[in-house]
Amino acid sequence: MRSLSGLLIVLGVTMLSGTIVSVALPQIVGSLNGTQAQYTWVVTATLLASTASTPVWGKLADLFDKKKLLQLSIVLFVVSSLLAGFAQTTGQLIAFRAVQGLGMGASQVLVQVIIASLVSPKERGRLNGYIGGIMAVATVGGPLIGGAITDISWLGWRWCFFIGVPFMVIASLVLGRTLKLADVRRADAKVDYAGALLIASGVSTLLLWVTFVGNDFAWISWQSGAMVAGSAVLLGLAVWVESRVSQPVIPLHLVVRRETAIAILASIAVGMAMFGGAVFLGQYFQLARGYSPTEAGLLTTPLMLGVLVSSTVSGRMVSNSGRVKPYVVTGLVSLTLGFLLLSTIDETTSLLIVSAGMLLVGTGVGMSMQNLVLVVQNSVPLSELGAASGAITFFRSLGGTMGVSVLGAILANRVGTNISEGLAGAGVDASAAAGSGTLNLAAMPPFLREIVESAYGSSTGDIFLVATGIAAVGLVVGLFLPKVRLRDTLDLPGAEEVPSDGATGTGGGTPSVGGDAANAPASADGRVPAAGDGPGTPVVARGQAARVVRAAKREDGTG
């Protein structure tokens, strides 16, 4: 529990660093004279760096000392946070936030891997309550703290980046004294640098296209063709490399498993909800409704309250029953309904309706996000835990990054169109909008400020309508999730006993848990019973178990 306290501090601070700026961003970007496009990039740069580096950190966790990797990520996060706090321009802030994203991605995936190395999947359901609580406190407290810091004259928005530094230092000291992990460094350890570079380049190119298309160039243009084709080529080469190297960054046999593939697709939708909701709701309350940063933080409380309550309750219920699918599907239903309700809002919508929509979205995120991680971690042996955790975190972060980029691009286009229409309706020449491209409302004349607020109000509902469609896709995918039962052992029992010839499992001698085995009731030691099961029988699907038994009989002459 002492080690867990340090791990939860790291997780909480890294998540806080993402949400603490969500409400303060209009003030931050406005004080630095940034634009709406730069507003999005302050968030996107962090998510992009975190997303691109996550699978690398996850793979490194399987090859090297997890504790030292986590300490390295803490140092990276602390240094970049200090630099971001001292930024003098929006460009500098974006650059330092990108470096901070490297530390955030490393810390979040390494904390999950270390916890999974200490606690079985079934008991981890209870820990999901703690993790969900930390996430909720970070996400609830983030906007509140960010808004309050921004409103306090003797602090200012720069302390949004400084405030997490002392907590990370304390966490590093606690982990250095209490966290004891076996040193798993291997002599044959290899890092797939080529695959990591190709994945990062392909994803970055795609996200850059999503960010700039429609503003800097048309959807159908040579720039779009070059960026989409380039991304496709890079990702295609990444798949080719990953299928041939001995120790890939993202093992393909993990991604193509039914449980993992479905959990990944559903996580993309949840990621878009988690990041997009927090970022654009804070902006909505300030720019469309005229609330202060502190008030905007308080108004986002229903979203975070939903995450806290649903993650805690569903985590305990998952641990008691060992079943995951009912809670994931229920969460995705709540997520879809919440976005559907939020798609109706504008600058005049009752706050009760907005709060109800946020509560549903928060409930959906809390019930589905960590449980989808559990599904993936439950299906792999301990030796592949880092790669599996890195893969699901990577795709969830990718969904969040794409969500912020896509929704941000749509919002910027809609706001620009609405402002132009508002000016034309008022009989004002468009040149009067010089300065409406910034988010510094205080510097605008009153008539222009009213038009801008109305533009943001109606445009926010439009982007949540898009999010509704994405959540609905995640729900449909989630319905195909197998009825997974969580094991109560740290590793797959018998994982070391299965021959490595590939006859009884997936690559590398790892047994495959799927089909009937995944649905069969587990015994006291977490093993799945099969006909003829005796002491030491590997946990494999029943059909595979039968083949193992027949092969053994042929070898000893009894069959």
What's the one-letter identity of residue 556? Answer: D
Angle 208-210-216 from CA coordinates, rounded to 5°: 80
428's tokens = 């004002």
pLDDT at residue 178, rounded to an integer: 81
What's the one-letter identity of residue 281? Answer: L
Supply the DSSP symbol for 192. -
Q: Which residue has the tokens 């004294």?
A: 177
**Rounded to whole angstroms, how far apart are CA atoms 4 and 1?**
5
Whose CA is closest to 553, among 530, 535, 532?
532
Separation of CA 474 from chain center: 14
Q: Which residue has the tokens 């460009």?
A: 91
Residues with Cβ within 8 Å of residue 143, at least 6 apart in sequence: 19, 20, 22, 23, 278, 282, 296, 297, 300, 304
Angle 388-246-380 from CA coordinates, rounded to 5°: 25
Whether residue 140 contacts residue 396, with contact meaning beta carbons closer than 8 Å, is answered with no
Separation of CA 340 from chain center: 21
**Rounded to whole angstroms, how far apart are CA atoms 73 and 121?**
25
**Rounded to whole angstroms, how far apart are CA atoms 248 and 58?**
11
pLDDT at residue 232, rounded to an integer: 92
Would the CA dihedral through 167, 173, 175, 177 be positive or negative? negative
**Rounded to whole angstroms, how far apart are CA atoms 84 and 557?**
70
**Rounded to whole angstroms, how far apart are CA atoms 462 and 460?**
5
What's the one-letter identity of residue 397? Answer: S
**Rounded to whole angstroms, how far apart are CA atoms 269 and 473?**
8
Cβ of 176: how many Cβ atoms within 10 Å? 11
**Rounded to whole angstroms, how far apart are CA atoms 488 and 466?**
40
**Rounded to whole angstroms, how far apart are CA atoms 272 and 456?**
20
Q: How many CA atoms lie within 13 A of 321 on its CB side?
A: 14
pLDDT at residue 122, rounded to an integer: 65
Cβ of 90: how many Cβ atoms within 10 Å? 20
Residues with Cβ within 8 Å of residue 378, at least 6 apart in sequence: 121, 259, 324, 484, 486, 487
Whether residue 41 contacts residue 408, with contact meaning beta carbons closer than 8 Å, is answered with no
Q: Which residue has the tokens 């910034």?
A: 438
Q: How far is CA 247 from CA 27, 62, 268, in A?
A: 46, 10, 25
Whose CA is closest to 313, among 44, 128, 504?
128
pLDDT at residue 185, rounded to an integer: 53
Q: How far is CA 254 from CA 40, 195, 375, 390, 500, in A?
A: 33, 16, 12, 11, 17
Whether residue 241 contacts residue 191, with contact meaning beta carbons closer than 8 Å, is answered with no
With a cut of 70, list the residues of the chain below it in pLDDT.
22-23, 35-37, 40, 121-126, 128-129, 132-133, 135-137, 139-141, 182-190, 211, 214-215, 273-278, 382-383, 386, 427-445, 486-559
Cβ of 485: how many Cβ atoms within 10 Å? 23
Residues with Cβ within 8 Å of residue 350, at least 6 apart in sequence: none
Whether residue 143 contacts residue 19, with contact meaning beta carbons closer than 8 Å, is answered with yes
Whose CA is closest to 373, among 336, 335, 333, 328?
328
Q: Which long-range contacts (CB under 8 A, 24 or more apart) does 437-446 make?
A: 437/35, 437/36, 438/29, 438/30, 438/33, 438/34, 438/35, 439/26, 439/29, 439/30, 439/34, 439/35, 439/36, 439/39, 439/287, 440/30, 440/31, 440/33, 441/26, 441/30, 441/287, 442/30
Torsion region of 528: left, alpha or beta (phi above 0 gives left; psi -120 to 50 gives alpha)? beta
